[in-house]
Amino acid sequence: MEKNSNTVKAINRNVRSGTRKINNLLKNIRGKKVDVAIRNLSFARQRIALEIRKTVQSAIANAENNNQFDIDNLYIKEAYVGKSIVLKRFRARAKGRASGIKKPYSNLTIILSENINKKEQLHGSKS
Per-residue pLDDT tens for 82-103?
999 999 999 999 999 999 999 9
The strand pairing partners of 101, in sequence order, are 89
pTM of the model: 0.83
Q: 107: burial class by Cβ within 10 Å (0-12, 13-18, 19+)?
A: middle
Q: What is the pLDDT of residues 38-91, one digit of tens each?
A: 999 999 999 999 999 999 999 999 999 998 999 999 999 999 999 999 999 999
pLDDT of residue 100: 96
Q: In what order do the strands lie in the sheet with 7-15?
A: 7-15, 98-114, 74-92
* Domains assigned to the chain: 8-126 (3.90.470.10)
Taking the CA atoms of 40, 9, 57 and 61 in sequence, report the sign of the dihedral they define: negative
Predicted confidence band of residue 1 (pLDDT cuts 50, 70, 90):
very low
